[in-house]
Structure 1
Amino acid sequence: MTMDLFDGASTLESQEQLAPGAVLLRGFAAADERELLSALAEVITQAPFRHMRTPGGLPMSVGMSNCGALGWISDRAGYRYGPVDPLSSQPWPPLPEVFLQLATHAAERAGFSRFVPDACLINRYEPGSRLSLHQDKNERDFGQPIVSVSLGLPVVFLFGGLSRSVPARRIGLMHGDVVVWGGPARLSYHGVLPLKEGFHPLVGSQRPNLTFRKAG
């Protein structure tokens, strides 16, 4: 990987297969960036970012929120989805239409038709924030893909195999890039290296990430 991967935003769309069932859509979300960020701001007004705790009681380095019928939750009771924001005791904000359209179109482009997410986990990475290798396995239907949308600062995404022993590939992601994985890649281990210092003209010194799932 060379540093020119991180020079500017993804302005041209391209498609790259990362593994059977896993596709990187370069610049796929860039055209909708302002609508996406406006909708994101409205969601965060209703359900602010918070640092959830692992079942062991440790705070996560990534700020998190949710929108959709279900939201991903982590606390001493474990990892799970729930319809109510624990901070407000209110339902999570509904999925904005621009979120829903982007997720379904990206999934279709990657070969997964009829994907209709009911959950969007929103991660806010700040310099130094990271996400260790893990599988997304709290959903009921592993036949549905994961759609992950990168906004803001560039980051190195780790994409491995179905066990931790498989070396993870390092992939530079930029503003507007979308990764979709499902089928034989649905339970692939993935993560994010610590975010480096930087500044993005639309979001500042952070990287919002939208991860769409069919959880229920």
Structure 2
Amino acid sequence: MDAELFPRPRAQIAPGAVHLPDWLDADRQRELLAACREWARPPAGLRTVHTPGGGTMTARQVCLGWHWYPYGYARTVVDGDGAPVKPFPDRLGELGRQAVRDALGEETPSYDIALINFYDADARMGMHRDSDEQSDAPVVSLSLGDTCVFRFGNTESRARPYTDVELRSGDLFVFGGPSRLAYHGVPKVYPGTAPAELGLTGRLNVTLRVSGR
């Protein structure tokens, strides 16, 4: 909704996993969206990801710093146009470090990976773990556009127990420590819920990681 009687409070979803609603104000959302649109242009732009088993991810993706593909990293888009991956910008690194300070009160190594996923109305993300990095630094997740259900689970399996969190445009979610390898996914996106002034149809998720490479 456009206005709420009470602001949404920050919430610890699990040990080391924190949701900070409305962390990005409207101006920073617009700035990040404009940057994402530039990063999504070819070469090394937005692509459809195919899994080794022959499946296709419904959320499309562009990477910065290191190119992620199932299940590894490369310096070129090995499963796409073969172009060198776009560089990781310093401003995203500082954004990631500030996010961890605000969410967990910790200092982290320099972030050097961004995975940017675009969800249209029908896109989903199955339960998975971010386990291809060689670092246990917290993962930073920023949401732009449509609201989604973010399912945050446990470290043992894709099954219950898990917690469903509503992520709206501007929200921050950070998970590290004992929750760093928790399974998580996006079972639902709510079309048409993006702030009108943002000018985005769909949802963008900007995920920042430390490669340890």
Q: 1:199, 1:23 → 2: CA distance?
A: 23
- Corresponding residue for residue 25 of structure 1: 20
Q: What does 1:158-169 align with in structure 2 at a 5 Å threshold?
A: 158-164=151-157, 165-169=159-163
Q: What does 1:107-186 align with in structure 2 at a 5 Å threshold?
A: 107-111=100-104, 112-142=106-136, 144-164=137-157, 165-186=159-180
Q: 1:90, 1:15 → 2: CA distance?
A: 40
Residue correspondences, number: 204
3-state SS of 2:100 partner: helix
1:100 matched to 2:93? The reply is yes
Q: TM-score, normalised by structure 2?
A: 0.88
Q: TM-score, normalised by structure 1?
A: 0.87
Q: 2:173, 2:189 → 1: CA distance?
A: 18
Q: 2:165, 2:108 → 1: CA distance?
A: 27
Provide closer, same or farther for how the CA distance between residues 199 and 172 of structure 1 changes in structure 2, counting only shifts above 3 A. Answer: closer
Q: 1:104, 1:39 → 2: CA distance?
A: 19
Q: 1:73, 1:195 → 2: CA distance?
A: 23
Q: Give the RMSD, CA atoms, in angstroms.
A: 2.1
3-state SS of 1:151 partner: strand
**For 1:80, which of 65, 72, 78 is the aligned residue?**
72
Percentage identity across aligned positions?
A: 34
**For 1:44, which of 40, 43, 49 is the aligned residue?**
40
Structure 2: gaps (5+ residues): none
3-state SS of 1:141 partner: coil
Provide closer, same or farther for how the CA distance between residues 163 and 203 of structure 1 changes in structure 2, counting only shifts above 3 A. Answer: farther
Assess if the C-alpha contact under 8 Å between 1:154 and 1:172 holds in 2. Answer: yes
Provide closer, same or farther for how the CA distance between residues 8 and 125 of structure 1 changes in structure 2, counting only shifts above 3 A. Answer: farther
